Amino acid sequence: MARIFITGSSDGLGLRSARTLAQRGHDVYLHARNNQRAQDARTACPEAKDVFVADLTSTEETKSLATQLNQTGPWDAIVHNAGLMNGVSHLKGKEGLPALFAVNTLAPYILSSLVDPPPKRLVFVSSGMHHGGDASLRNIQEAGYSDTKLHNVLLAFWFARKFGDRGVLSNALNPGWVATKMGGSNAPDNLDAAVDTYVLLAEGSGAAEGKTGGFWYQTRARTSKGPGRETSYEKSAEDEARQNKLVEILARISDVKPPQ
Ligand SMILES: NC(=O)c1ccc[n+]([C@@H]2O[C@H](COP(=O)([O-])OP(=O)(O)OC[C@H]3O[C@@H](n4cnc5c(N)ncnc54)[C@H](OP(=O)(O)O)[C@@H]3O)[C@@H](O)[C@H]2O)c1
């Protein structure tokens, strides 16, 4: 049995994965942006152990979430799932940071850096759209969705290197285009297979056992090898200098030092 925390688990893939992981006997902790959404999450997943509240558009609330996680840990897995996509270009968090950048890029960096000891497994939820991301890392706070999803892969690979000698497994995941609030009702890919891939990486089981620094995608057909497989990703994400540069920028913006 593992202790697993999933960001953005009041809805969509985070909630569905939380339910499945709880049904599989794990201690699952949810996360929601405010008290109302926390109550919604509790109702939707009553098997969960608890719900943490933090609006990830706020770096202060994200840091405070890390403190709460440290009081409840150590963690077997943290899944960086919370994400924003459409209609948020005008939105800013409480400290004035663009919401898309704060939720999709900065929050996973802050939590992965401040949760101590690091979880045994880190999962960064990216997207196929990371292929269109801007690898230059210029004007990072103005990043669009694709840019932030490339950041997620860069972070997964940076933390795989950083924590490798401590046995931490860090991977990125593309759930496919699936029917959630974000994906829309006409999304063509298999939602259950996406959830199965979250489960695989959160448990570190099946094809994901012992694997780090990978980019994972669902398989539609469930084979004896399990529901997920490693797949190709944008090669610029392998560039260690680029990974380092991203972490330096995020450290400066958040005032959170990267783990040593
Ligand atoms: N669905 C797809 O086709 C697809 C494809 C590729 C990648 N992804 C990735 O998969 C992940 C999950 O997406 P989804 O499809 O499940 O989206 P979703 O249904 O919109 O769920 C997103 C979750 O993130 C939470 N969230 C958003 N902003 C937050 C904030 N400021 N503070 C705290 N929580 C916040 C949402 O809370 P509320 O419920 O309160 O809004 C919700 O629980 C994302 O990282 C997304 O980029 C999805």
Annotated active-site residue 29? The verdict is no
In this structure, the number of other CB atoms found within 10 A of the CB of residue 252 comes to 9
CA 98–ligand 1 middle distance (angstroms): 16
Phi, psi (rounded to 5 degrees) for 163: -100, 5
**Pocket flag, ligand 1, residue 37 (CB < 6 Å):** yes
Would you kindly state where each structural domain of the chain is located, as residue ranges?
3-254
CA 11–ligand 1 middle distance (angstroms): 7
Q: Which CATH superfamily is domain 3-254 in?
A: NAD(P)-binding Rossmann-like Domain (3.40.50.720)
**Pocket flag, ligand 1, residue 125 (CB < 6 Å):** yes
Annotated active-site residue 149? The verdict is yes
Q: Where are the alpha helices (DSSP H) in the chain?
A: 12-23, 35-44, 59-72, 99-101, 107-114, 145-162, 191-203, 240-254
Please list the pLDDT of the chain residue by residue as tens digits (260 residues): 999 999 999 999 999 999 999 999 999 999 999 999 999 999 999 999 999 999 999 999 999 999 999 999 999 999 999 999 988 889 999 999 999 999 999 999 999 999 999 999 999 999 999 999 999 999 999 999 999 999 999 999 999 999 999 999 999 999 999 999 999 999 999 999 999 999 999 999 988 999 999 999 986 545 444 467 888 888 999 999 999 999 999 999 999 999 98
**Pocket flag, ligand 1, residue 93 (CB < 6 Å):** no
**Pocket flag, ligand 1, residue 98 (CB < 6 Å):** no
